[in-house]
Structure 1
Amino acid sequence: MEVIGVFNAGVTRYLDETILLLRVAERPINDNPEVYVVPLYHPSEDRIVLQEIERKPEYDFSDVRVIRTPERNYLTSMSHLRIARSTDGIHFTIESEPTLLPSGPYESYGIEDPRITLIDNIYYITYSAISELGICTSMITTEDFITFTRQGNIFHPDNKDVAIFPASIGGSYYALHRPSCSHYGQPEMWIAESGDLKQWGNHRHLIGVRPGFWDDGRIGASAVPFEIEEGWLEIYHGADKSNRYCIGALLLDKHEPWKVIARSVEPIMEPETDYELEGFFGNVIFPCGALHEEGLAKIYYGASDTSIGYAEVTIEAIRANLGLKQLNNQL
């Protein structure tokens, strides 16, 4: 196997450290042009095996991430999660061994895109669990980033981009999520409610794609929401119909987070640099985490499914992007 990308990291603070939970994507090294080799985790044997797939004309190889056959689809790479630590938020030491590997029948294609929420000294890590059964959202908890407890699937397939709010609101917990619709609807953002952070219900549609805008293809939560004076601020991702991924902002009501106050008309950030435009899957910026500190949103984002970038944007600039000053004047 060879590493092809380190990207889409969850982020949090633990003691005096910045913790990144990296998504590390690997693919088999293959010198045979007659076949494609894909990695699969076999839960019954607790090991990863490499499977050869013939390059048949009826198979779809158009997406570098996926191989589509009449029988089933395969991922061309497999991801695990690995911790990186820093005292300044810029220079990181990456642990030498994987922190979390695929485990069980729902992770046979790997684990991806973690988000980290701190509630009452417990870190709740949500992530995409991929298998031939679909994409579930699973959860792992930790108090020290040394010992981890698997909590199982909290959203059934196909569902991803789950970000849990970092506090109870009116006695309930809330999470943003993105179900995939097979026949009706679009890949859009929903909100769900829970009393125990494990069983989720009262699902409500939150925002949809917007024809002609930068997010007219698909949208989903990115960072864990954080609280500002006007409400809950969510840094979210949106893609257009050409799969160009940008970052926008969403403001939700402080007491009724299913109510939308404001949304970015223009993105707050879009692919511009070489490493954002070119890579394993180019023209993509995709954050899974941001820290709200010192009047800034400190955003750690995946760049072209290859590397991790870091950007700072002031909360005032996000307010201006959302038109909040104008909104406050009108109120």
Structure 2
Amino acid sequence: MSQDSLIFTPDDVDLARSPLRRSLSVPTYVLGAFNPGMTRLPNGNLLLMVRVAEALSEPVEDDHVRAIRWTPAGYVLDDHPLAGVNMSDPRQFDVGGGNYRMLALTSLSWLLPVEITPDGRGIVAIHYDKAIEPAAPYQCYGVEDARITRIGDRWYMTTCSVAPERHSTTLHVSEDGLNYRLLGIVLDHQNKDMILFEGLVGGKFLALTRPLGEVYFAYPHDSEWMGGPSINLAQSPDALHWKPLDQPFLRPRKGATSSMKLGGGSQPILTPDGWLMIYHGVETRQKVGIYRSFWALLDRDEPWRVLRLEDKEPLLEANAALTAPIAQQLYLPTEVVFTTGIADAGDHYVVASGEADLACRITHIPKARFA
């Protein structure tokens, strides 16, 4: 039986210590503190790398809506004329007038390292001095959704970096799991869920990827698969230069609970039975959709071979009881659980997720659940 709790919420963020405070004086609030990458530190504690989405308290001023942007000189506000702007989604707004759909964000995301107890039930320290904020033009609209993998004596953290020029995947590395340095862009197309396997395969780094596009092509009518965003694999000699594998990997399957799109969740970890990965599937529903977590077991030596795929019975679903005490902070009617990390804890796994795009959830899942 799984055990759930919220470990970190927007109320736990001290915005007086936000990196934005150095150059932005207007009032802000935490739209969400969620989607935490997770790893175990050398001292045995767990580290959550929490995405803090910081938003303007008053985004509309006169006849303009404002967005936060990083520059080398500090954070600034950009004014967009309200005429033609669609603000129905509190996370973003559509800017009209171009040949393509253009979005601006109502918040800017940065990453906050939160050290928690080995069982994931208590907070040890919040490391504001080690927060990760935009540091380059390709991150001027924020750094999002960290995923952390330890390989040998080094920690590798992928993040999504947002800018007008590209929506890219960036790589940070650490020698202690807590202090990270940015190595730059590793994938320059929109790819929301790049996650490294926790170990080399055939002497090479292996990663889950999930490139997005505007057009998908149909499978034959009698195929078991459905077109749409799916999970691919890529390999690299150095974690910087990546070659996609030719064969398809996890694709939306007809009859599955959530087949609108698939994407990576936790870092794949090696078990006696093969590589265990938790991923998310989305069911079409209203604006955001319903996000659930599923799992798959992959061959130890050939991870592109799927030994077991559990895509009908969810491993995790959104739990409204968890967010009930902070329900007034919910900004969308969402049913979202977005798994982002896993750690071995003996007879069970500690699993980290984002809950309702609002807070950080910890779940204890017995290993017997994956038998």
**TM surpasses 0.5:** yes
Confirm whether residue 181 of structure 1 aligns to residue 210 of structure 2. no
Partner SS, residue 20 of structure 1: strand
Residue by residue over 1:98-147, the C-alpha shift from the partner in whole angstroms, topping out at 9 and shown as x without a partner, is 61101112111100111111112111011111111232110000112454
- Map 1:1-331 → 2, pairs under 5 A: 1-16=28-43, 17-30=45-58, 32=61, 34-42=63-71, 45-56=72-83, 58-70=84-96, 71=98, 72-88=102-118, 89-92=120-123, 93-97=125-129, 99-145=131-177, 147-185=179-217, 186-204=228-246, 205-242=248-285, 243-264=289-310, 265-275=312-322, 279-281=330-332, 282-319=334-371
Structure-2 separation of matches of 1:26 and 1:167: 34
The alignment covers a number of residue pairs equal to 316
* Alpha-carbon distance change, 202 to 306 in structure 1, aligned in 2, over 3 angstroms: closer
AA partner of residue 24 (structure 1): V
Partner SS, residue 159 of structure 2: strand
Structure-2 separation of matches of 1:146 and 1:300: 17
Structure-2 separation of matches of 1:248 and 1:226: 15
> Which residue pairs with 2:224 in the alignment?
none
Identity of aligned residues (%): 27
CA shift at 1:51, angstroms?
1.9
Comparing both chains, which one has the higher relative contact order based on Cα–Cα distances under 8 Å and sequence gaps of 6 or more? 2
CA shift at 1:2, angstroms?
1.6
* Alpha-carbon distance change, 241 to 90 in structure 1, aligned in 2, over 3 angstroms: same
Partner SS, residue 370 of structure 2: helix
Residue by residue over 1:137-181, the C-alpha shift from the partner in whole angstroms, topping out at 9 and shown as x without a partner, is 100001124543211111121112111011111222210010002
Partner SS, residue 117 of structure 1: strand
Residue by residue over 1:10-57, the C-alpha shift from the partner in whole angstroms, topping out at 9 and shown as x without a partner, is 111112221111111101121647442211112xx342111232332x
Higher mean C-alpha deviation, range 87-96 or range 173-182: 87-96
AA partner of residue 253 (structure 2): R
AA partner of residue 187 (structure 1): P
Structure-2 separation of matches of 1:203 and 1:75: 33
* Alpha-carbon distance change, 150 to 114 in structure 1, aligned in 2, over 3 angstroms: same
Conserved in 1, the CA contact under 8 Å of 2:41 and 2:178? no
* Alpha-carbon distance change, 85 to 69 in structure 1, aligned in 2, over 3 angstroms: same
AA partner of residue 297 (structure 1): Y
More strand by share: 1
Conserved in 2, the CA contact under 8 Å of 1:232 and 1:254? yes
AA partner of residue 201 (structure 1): K
AA partner of residue 317 (structure 2): E
AA partner of residue 88 (structure 2): S
CA shift at 1:259, angstroms?
1.2
**TM-score, normalised by the number of residues in structure 1:** 0.90
Structure-2 separation of matches of 1:283 and 1:253: 32
Structure-2 separation of matches of 1:206 and 1:108: 33
CA shift at 1:199, angstroms?
0.6
Structure-1 separation of matches of 2:249 and 2:230: 8
**TM-score, normalised by the number of residues in structure 2:** 0.80
